Structure 1
Amino acid sequence: MRLPGRLSAAIEVLTDVETRKRPVSEALKAWGLNNRFAGAGDRAAIGNLVYDALRRRSSHAALMGSDTPRALVLAVAVRDWNEDPAALSESFATDNHAPAPLTEEELERAVGQLPDGTPGHILADFPEWLTPSLERAFGDNWIAEGQDMSGRPSLDLRVNTLKSSRERVMKSLARFNPAETKFSPNGVTMPAGPRDARTPNVTTDEGYLKGWFEVQDQGSQLVAGLANAKPGEQVLDLCAGAGGKTLALAAVMGNKGQIFAYDSDRNRLAPIYDRLKRNGARNVQVRAPQPDALEDLVGKMDRVVIDAPCTGTGTWRRRPDTKWKLTPELLAQRVGEQAAILADAARYLKPGGTLVYITCSILPEENDDQVVAFIKANPDFASVNPAELWQSAFGTAFPADTETEQGGIALTPRLTGTDGFYINALRRSA
């Protein structure tokens, strides 16, 4: 397929997403099944167009004067892919699979600039109602944070030190030109390419099949490391999900001690069994959700890790469609769930133990605010100094501007080149 046909397909996929209210991944899969003539390169390019359109939906729509799928995709072609709009329109006229040629207004708007006085939430490409939250979280940098959250993410891998080394993994993946991550001591990264660049399919690599590495954003690797679990400890991973951080904890602990992996949702937990086997993680005991599943652990844990359910605002680069679906009601629901999980988690800790609170959110309501409320209700807890926590976990300099007002650590694309994550380690008095 040539570019005009790919643009037309992207418009079709976005229209499907809008009219049927289904996830982008499902719409792209359905398009591929219905158009089997399209090769892997075509599908990757169409996916890039769709995701780029959603990442900067607000500013694209403002520039084009419309938020229709056509307007958004044309804006991507010109603003993000640097296509000349006049030449693009001419190519449409000679391609049977192309959209209709650009109108005079579209040609004029596509090469324009957003005017002075454009509202900040449009420049930052996120819903207007979140402006007070983002201003509170990032101060004068809130627009820059939003803009960096609207870019493409890298593909990051965590080397499984139970089975391999970073040098060995990088050699195995040399054809993809991997590089070492900036902060994670066991991370490998492949930066996102421009335009129709394909993301490497590393899950078919020999190293992945042998358990040498896992696909995991560097930010997720860092918060798992900052949980600071030690060999020999008793650790409860209370919201284990598919086990990404559980596996990282097992590696950090060198398979020594015990990790109890639990999740209230059996479906989320299901993949963990195969992943544990492939990774060679032998110090993990999976606890399936059932009445009293964790009662024997009350008061015995050295560390309780909560990878809390959240809005996922830190993953907007990877799931930009969720950015525009988020509502105040959903945020309030997540905040309530987080408070309940924090309250429950505390009872599993022994005196002197540490409660590790993690979210993939950039919103203060889910992060510092939760810690403030928890400490108010549990005055025997206090936040571990972030710089000391970082030094203990990694032995390197603490990244600038990542400490929050309440003693947490906030990772973002602008600050650390990662997805958005928050962590606060709360130590119980002995």
Structure 2
Amino acid sequence: MKTGGRLQAAIEVLDDVEARRRPVADALKDWGLSHRFAGSGDRTAIGSLVYDALRRKASNAWVMDTPSARAAVLVTFADAWGQGLDALALALGDPHAPAPLTAAERARLGENREALLADAPAHVRADCPEWLMPSLAGVYGEGLERELQALCDRAPVDLRVNTLMATREAVLAELAGLGARPTPLAPHGLRLPDVAPTARPPHVPSEAAYQEGRVEIQDEGSQLAALIAGARSGENVLDLCAGGGGKSLAMAADLAGRGRIFAYDSDKRRFGDFRDRVRRAGADTVELRAPGVADSLADLEEGMDLVLVDAPCTGTGTWRRRPDAKWRLRPNALDARMRDQDLVLDEAMRFVAPHGRVVYVTCSILAEENEDRVAAALERHPGRRLADPLARLDPATAARLAPFVRTWGHGTPALRLTPAGAGTDGFFVAVLEADR
């Protein structure tokens, strides 16, 4: 496909997403199935255009003075991709391209983007749903726009070295051809270099290091959340909302072969290929517990040294990866997630031993899902208090994370990670221990 055809395809996908209110991944998949002539390079470029257009959907509409999919794709190609007006006009001359530029489009694209956005409302400049701005302003204050603009950037590809099988130094050497480098915060993490918008990123699952269990794909923030949980050799651990199991596998490495991790999720479909990953990682301490007719966790009551609650949330911290979710989010969905979070925190208290700890994690940047939920849980469970989230880390890692520990209320601490501050997805981590 030529560039013009790719532009037209991106417009069609965005129109489909808007008309049917569905995830962009589904729309891209369906487009690919109905256009089998498109090669992998075409699909990569089209997907990149679509995702990049959605990342700055509000500001693109302001700059172009229209919210149309066409306008979003044109400004993304010319501006965000740095191709410029002349290259865009040339691409629109292709037989399968969108219609040529109008005089109005040419005029808008010829203006300075920052100048056009100078008088835009704050939520437009930040590319955030307007209804969320008051809540987020209470968390980030004057830094709000910077935080939200960072959530519009592309996310890097991070890997976690499985220390049951290899050292970071050994895997760094093995993946030197991919340009892997150490992550700045997580002691077992690697980060792959960014690629151009039209380039295909490295296919990590094809690497021997992945196939043989030496690395897993996992955002640095997720790695840090599992590390803060502080699983130790000999402990019994319950991962109550395990999903795909990334944090269970990370904690299994920390157990170093002694102890037990019980990985559970209320929807067993979320496990995906978890069992295969457990075998590949050599994580013999992990046992999957699927939901069933009977209570599959009854034998674990009050017996866990650690209960990890990777709570269901709005996923606002992952907007770099799922920009379409940002624009689908509604207040009723936030209310539903808050109810879920209260329920799962109460469920965690059923399993934690009197001396044990509950670690509450979300990939959300909203106080309603983070500080507010922890404060409410502490009111319902007066035998618990917040602990220092860095207490179980080695001194060097704790020092690197200290700037991201935030206190509220009566000085109670929790960890907040964001793309702007830490270069990770947005994460919140709080540790609830026995009040003794």
User: TM bucket by the smaller chain?
Assistant: over 0.9
Residues 90 and 101, structure 1, Cα contact 8 Å, conserved in 2: no
Residues 226 and 390, structure 1, Cα contact 8 Å, conserved in 2: yes
State the Cα distance separating 1:87 from its structure 2 match: 4.1
2:400 aligns to what SS in structure 1?
Answer: coil
Report the counterpart of residue 49 of structure 1 in structure 2.
49
Report the counterpart of residue 162 of structure 2 in structure 1.
160
TM-score (norm 2): 0.95
Residues 382 and 426, structure 1, Cα contact 8 Å, conserved in 2: yes
Match of 1:60, as an amino acid?
N
Q: Give ranges in structure 1 of 5+ residues lacking alignment.
A: none
C-alpha distance in 2, partners of 1:348/1:59?
47
Query: Counterparts in 2 of 1:377-396, with a 5 A limit?
Result: 377-391=380-394, 394-396=397-399
Residues 13 and 31, structure 1, Cα contact 8 Å, conserved in 2: yes
Query: Counterparts in 2 of 1:234-383, with a 5 A limit?
Result: 234-290=236-292, 291-383=294-386
Percent identity, please. 47
State the Cα distance separating 1:167 from its structure 2 match: 2.4
Match of 1:349, as an amino acid?
V
- Cα RMSD over matched residues? 1.6
Match of 1:209, as an amino acid?
Q
Match of 1:22, as an amino acid?
R
Query: Counterparts in 2 of 1:4-403, with a 5 A limit?
Result: 4-93=4-93, 95-112=94-111, 113=113, 114-290=116-292, 291-391=294-394, 394-403=397-406
State the Cα distance separating 1:140 from its structure 2 match: 1.0
2:416 aligns to what SS in structure 1?
Answer: strand
Match of residue 420, structure 2, among 414, 423, 427: 414
State the Cα distance separating 1:40 from its structure 2 match: 1.8
State the Cα distance separating 1:395 from its structure 2 match: 4.8
**201-210 or 77-86: which moved more?**
77-86
Number of aligned residue pairs: give it: 429
**367-376 or 192-201: which moved more?**
192-201
C-alpha distance in 1, partners of 2:89/2:421?
39
Residues 283 and 262 of structure 1: CA distance in aligned 2, closer, same or farther (over 3 Å): same
C-alpha distance in 1, partners of 2:384/2:13?
49
2:66 aligns to what SS in structure 1?
Answer: coil
State the Cα distance separating 1:192 from its structure 2 match: 2.6
Q: Give ranges in structure 2 of 5+ residues lacking alignment.
A: none
Q: Deviations over 1:21-43 (max 9, x none)?
A: 33211221222222222222221
Q: 1:425 aligned to 2:428?
A: no
Residues 401 and 392 of structure 1: CA distance in aligned 2, closer, same or farther (over 3 Å): closer
**168-177 or 102-111: which moved more?**
168-177
Residues 80 and 270 of structure 1: CA distance in aligned 2, closer, same or farther (over 3 Å): closer
C-alpha distance in 1, partners of 2:90/2:188?
49
C-alpha distance in 2, partners of 1:235/1:387?
19
Q: Deviations over 1:275-322 (max 9, x none)?
A: 111111001121111232112111111111000000011110101110
C-alpha distance in 1, partners of 2:349/2:36?
53
C-alpha distance in 1, partners of 2:393/2:128?
30
Residues 343 and 398 of structure 1: CA distance in aligned 2, closer, same or farther (over 3 Å): same
C-alpha distance in 1, partners of 2:325/2:18?
13
Residues 305 and 355, structure 1, Cα contact 8 Å, conserved in 2: yes
C-alpha distance in 1, partners of 2:148/2:223?
22
Residues 80 and 195, structure 1, Cα contact 8 Å, conserved in 2: no
C-alpha distance in 2, partners of 1:179/1:235?
31
TM-score (norm 1): 0.96
1:408 aligns to what SS in structure 2?
Answer: strand
Residues 358 and 424, structure 1, Cα contact 8 Å, conserved in 2: yes
1:403 aligns to what SS in structure 2?
Answer: strand
C-alpha distance in 2, partners of 1:264/1:385?
29
C-alpha distance in 2, partners of 1:362/1:178?
28
Q: Deviations over 1:47-76 (max 9, x none)?
A: 110000001101111111111110100110
Residues 365 and 389 of structure 1: CA distance in aligned 2, closer, same or farther (over 3 Å): farther
